[in-house]
Structure formats: structure tokens, C-alpha cells
Amino acid sequence: MNFRFMAMFLAISMLAACTDNRHEDRYSVDIRWTSYGIPHVLADDWGSLGYGFAYATAVDGICVFAKELATANGTLSADFGSSDENFASDVFHRSILTDERLAYHRSAIPAEAAEYNMGFIAGYNRYLQDYAGKMPASCNGQDWVRPLRDGDLDRMMVAFGIRYGLGNFKDEIAAAAPPGEALEQVAFNAGPVQGIGSNAIAVGSSLTASGRGLLLGNPHYPWHGPSRFHIVHITIPGVVDLMGARLIAGNFIGIGFNRDIAWTHTVSTAARFTLFELELNPDNPMQYRYGDEFLDIEELTVQVPGAGEDSAPRAHTVYMSHFGPVFSAEGMAWTAERAFAIRDAIVDNNATVPTYFSLQTAKSVADVEKAISQQGTFFVNTVAADRHGNAFYGDLSATPNLDVDMLQTCRRSVEGVPGWAVILDGSDPGCNWKITPGSPVPGNLPPENMPRATSAEYFTNSNDSYWLSNPDRPLEGYSPIIGDEGTARSLRTRAGLTFVDEAIANGAKLEPEDLQQILFSHRHFSAELFLEGVLTLCEQPGDDIAASCEVLAKWDRTSDVDSRGTHIWTEFWAQVRRLPNLYAVPFNVDYPVNTPSGLSLDNPEVRQAVLGALAAAQKKITDAGIALDARWGDVQFAERNGERIGIPGAVGNHGSFSYIVTQFTDGKGYTPILHGNSYIQVIGWNENGDLDARGILTYSQSPEPDSPHYADQTRLYSRGELIDFPFTEEEILADPELEVLTLRE
């Protein structure tokens, strides 16, 4: 079913009874869909823009959006059945997303953004009316597809912001209870961000053929769920003209471009939260020491709706310190002597809407820097380029304000808790986050103390710290709470830096196609570095690995769909990469891009382990019923309505700059795709300053199997193609698949 065609029919029918005087309508907007289902939303005011944005969102993503709304509202138990997971999520969202907190966030929203949000609510609800009983099969007729209410967008935004901080502790927060009332202990499952990452390259005028800026944006986000991207273009003539990607369960563009600038994000290494060890009052476990006084642990009881009409709400108490919620887990239980709390850098950061509202109309990377200095970019680096020829890198994300001395003197260790967790002494006020003048968000590092740089050369980031964003000009001297310096970089980071250096060797000037090729060559950097050494072991007597050696010797060392041997190396390197003493040359801070290097094959233990890993890889593949010389696109694929679409790319920590993570399935291979290359944009300007914008959404615009845009871009991505984005009015109106819908209310 073509849902947009239905929408057009409904809109035309309604318009027949409406006046032609646009000024009498509260909302009036045109949505123009071009090829591959890309909506271009054109309006004369912010409210109408939000109205059309929401409608275009719902056409492709109503089911995902509606479920994320239920998550943020804490109704998963009622809507999707009682389970420990759903209950913990409901408790978490109902206790953290309080009316007071949401009011604080709303207080910072510009008036135009408030108009936009009201329009978004109206446009979303208009879609529900137009499509009642006619939605995608995955949610059609479901009670959990509800209208948006005032405040829901604020709730969803805060919920997203804390997803990788406080949101990691849903189970642990729900499990907290005073001694003697302890609930069943849960495992300490919180950890560093998983399932998201990114590559980014910004190039300045001294290295581009046009003398303008050039940007590759390549976020690695989930292929399923609310963190999927969706391409959209928004225009209010003379006010804003912006295209890019937004999360399908979000309401603003997070990565994109206009006529003057382009920006992207990569997940930052900076901390988003810290834990605090609370010293409890020996006479009262509901109090904790803070300096010379005892503070109360406060109780907050929430009501979680149950499933079914006759199911009564279930009450649950959450416990709060002035740092944030108390949590409990194995090894970090609430005892008579101590408890643990978490403080999040984003939950009370209300700068997000002002930050992205400013980014929409930026005209230079200086404007980008000014916008993100409001510190509303949550957990990401920002990499940008502009029409004037500037490249920019900055990590100005929401980060606890802790210096080196505090991290040394205040940090506590807890047996069994992983070292990445920053646990601070909660009894000493000097160990709480510093309040520094100049920070827009109290307790966050002020922007002037965070890494950033502008250049006519280049910057890259592939989820390592800021340190080697350009190896010729390392950024140094910042708080380790942001990231490390002088340490080994990941193979993916080293690959990106190497590929850029190769592209600009001998004075070459970069074109957009060069950045596209860096990604779409799908080179496997670990194989380029180490495969020859492994093949020398194949010359030894024995035929147990001969078949794998034969395939690897012919392998082109890429993860393109036509490559043969990628799966052998994938399984082999997964075992080898963590071997002790693996490298012949260890990391050298003076040669950070080229070390560590070589395999220690003179070491008998390493040599034997490498041979064993290759034999194990061969066995896993053959036992799964997969040929050793299988084509990569036949064993790594996305299934779309019975069609198998080969997906290029491979695991990033194996050295693939083109990043794809999958689930291994016996008898099939590497499917389904979990996360990796998602929204890809290559943005530049020609010598005259005209925009050159191309890109793709690897998994296509809609997650719904009954959508016409469920697989079309995925096929393009499989073939290594990008879309030339229609941006100007002439390009949009000339698109051969143009469909136009006018909405008025």
C-alpha cells in the first residue's frame, strides 16, 4: 500500500471543503516527496513546519515513534505486557521525567521552537486521524498508538539524552531498597555506550580542489528501533533551509547541511555520568554524610499502570540523593554502611533545543562552534566544514566538570566493578562536580576547557578521543574525564587517518568522490597490515588450515559484497586481536598512526595461537554450513520481504573503516544487521560556492515491510551508490518521482 498516495487523497478530499485563504488556516504546509521517499517540508512559519515534519515522520515511522512515546511515558507494562524489563523501564521514566524537570527543560526553548513543537503535536495527531485503521501492519489498530500531548516531546527528548547515561541504570535504580527491604540484586550491566559510533572527516580549503570545505558524515547507529535515522529537508523561505537526518523518534535534524555549512557527530569518549559512594549514617541508613552534615535520602513513589482494563497500577519507590537516584547491583548493594548514587550530566541540561535551533541557520564553522558552545549536543563530538573553506572539530558535549586532581584524590574503587566506572567520594563536597563561571550548564565542564580547533587542513574522528583529530596538530592538555592522550588508537581510527594521508599524498587535492571512496572502498585495515604475516604460517607443513589459506591468499582485503575471504578474517581476527604480546612493535607515542605493528610470529606462543585461531575460524564457518570461498554479500545481508540484499562493510574494531556489526546465524551467515553505516552524507561546494550534496540511508527510509521505501536505498548501498540530494527548488520540482501533499488545518 502506498501510504503517501492515501495521504494525498485524504488531503485533497479535505481541501475541497476548505477555504483557499491560507491566512485563515492555523497550519499550512507542503510536503514534497522526491525519489526514495525523501520528504521536503515547505512552510511559511515554524508551527506549520513542525506540522509537516511530524506528518512526514509518521508516514514512515509511526509504529517506532509510538512505541518510543510509550517508553518515555512509562506505559510499556500496560501496552506490551508485564515483564521485569518493562517494569524497570516504566519505573525509571516515571521517576526521572518529573513534571518539574520537564518544566525546567521547556523554560529554555525559544519561542519559535515552542511554536514548532505545538505544530508537530498537531501534525502527528492529524496523521492519526487521517490513517485511523490504515496504518502499517506492525501497529495498525493498536491501542498504544496514541495522540501526542503537550509535554510529550520534552519527555521524549530528555529520555533520549539520558539513554546512554542514567538510562544504562534502569534495572539498578528500580532494584534499590534500604537494608532489610532489599529486592533481588541485579547484575551491574551498565557500561560504556554500545551499538553506536561514527566516522567523520572534515577537510579545509588548503586540501580541496574547490578551495571550499568538504565533509564526510558516517554515523554508525542501530538499524532497528528508535535510533534509526530518517532523511528530511525543512524550509521556511528566508529563514531556514536545512537537510539531513533525524532520529525517526525525534523531532529535529541532528546531522545535516544548509547552503553554507555541514556538520556531523561522532560518539565522544567523554564521561556522561559519575557514580558516588555514599557514607551512611550509622544510626539511619536513610541518611548520608555530606561534609559536616547528614542529608536525607528522599523517597519518590511512582504508579506504574498495569496491563488490561482491570489491572490496578503497581506502586514502586525510587530513592533519591542530591546527586541523583540511588541504585543497587551486585557488588554495589545498599548496606548499613554505604550506598551508591549516580549523577548524570544531561538530565538537567536544557540547552539541547537552543543548540540545534542555532545549528539550523549557521553560516560558518564559527557559527557551529558558537552553537555547540551552548553544550546541548549531549554525548558527541562535532565535526564540520563550511563553504568558506574551514574545517572544524570540537568535543563540547555535556561532561562532568572534574579535573586531574579530583580524579586522583576523589576516585574510589569497588571490587568487581569495571575500571571504566568513575566512582567518587560522595561524603566530600570537594569531590562533587565543580561549578565554574562560563559553563552554560552548572556542573559541566565550561566550553573554554574543552578541545576544539578550526583549520584549513583536516580533522577526523572515529570514536577515539580528541587527541589525534589531526596527528600533525594533536590536541593536548585537557581533563582525562574527556578522553585519553598519548595512548594507542583503534584500528578504525588509524585506518581513517591513513586513508586521508594517502589521498592527500604528493599534494593531491580532494574532491567529494575521494571521501566517498575512502568509505566505499571497504578496505580492511587489519588485513592490510597483518595478513601477509599470517600467510607465511600457511607455508608450514600441515593441511588443516590449507583451505582457508588458499582463500585468504586470493582475498582482495576488503569487505565489498564481491569479496571472498572476508568472513574467514572476521572470525580469525575476533580471536586474535586480544592475544597478549600479539604485536612485534608495541605502541610508540611518537608514531601513533603506525604502531603497534607487525605480528610477533617469532614468539612460539603467539604463532601457535594464531594458527589455532585460523583453524577455529575455519571450523566455525564450515560447521555453520557456509563455504570458505563464499561471496561476502551472500553471507552478510539484510533480508527485505524475502529478498537478500548483500551488505558491504565489516567490524570496526577489526580495522574496517566501513563499519557493520551483525548477528551470526548458522546456515545463513552475518544477519540480521544490528548497527553500523547508517546515514551517510558527503557534502562539499564547487569553486563558485554552489552546494554539492550526496548521501544515502543504508537501511532505507521506513522500517515497515509494507512501505514502498523499505529497501530501495538499501539496494543502492549494496551497489556502492549515493543519491544526489535534491536541495534547490529546481532540483526538487524536477525529480521524476515527485509527489506533493498540501496540508491545512
Question: Which residues belong to the active site?
Answer: 198
**Strand residue runs (E) in 53-150:** none
Q: Identify the helix (H) or strand (E) that includes residue 153.
A: helix 152-161
Q: Answer yes or no: are the C-beta atoms of 385 and 202 closer than 8 Å.
A: yes
What is the dihedral angle through the alpha carbons of 593, 595, 601, 603, rounded to the nearest 10 degrees? -160
As a whole number of angstroms, the distance between CA 650 and CA 658 comes to 6
Return the C-alpha cell found at 535.
Answer: 600467510
As a whole number of angstroms, the distance between CA 327 and CA 728 comes to 52
Q: Answer yes or no: are the C-beta atoms of 718 and 646 closer than 8 Å.
A: yes
Return the C-alpha cell found at 578.
Answer: 586480544
**Strand residue runs (E) in 268-372:** 273-281, 284-290, 293-296, 298-304, 314-320, 326-327, 338-344
Q: What is the DSSP letter of 206?
A: G
Instruction: Please name the residue ranges forming H helices in 334-386.
Output: 352-360, 365-372
Look at residue 79 and give its three-state secondary structure.
helix
Which of 165, 176, 184, 171 has the alpha carbon at shortest distance from 87? 171
Return the C-alpha cell found at 6.
Answer: 492515501
Residue with cell 485563504: 21
Q: Answer yes or no: are the C-beta atoms of 531 and 557 closer than 8 Å.
A: yes
Q: Is 194 exposed, middle or buried (0-12, 13-18, 19+ CB in 10 A)?
A: exposed
Q: Answer yes or no: are the C-beta atoms of 78 and 67 closer than 8 Å.
A: no
Assign residue 720 a region (left: φ > 0; alpha: ψ between -120 and 50; beta: otherwise).
left
Neighbours of 26 (CB within 10 A): 13
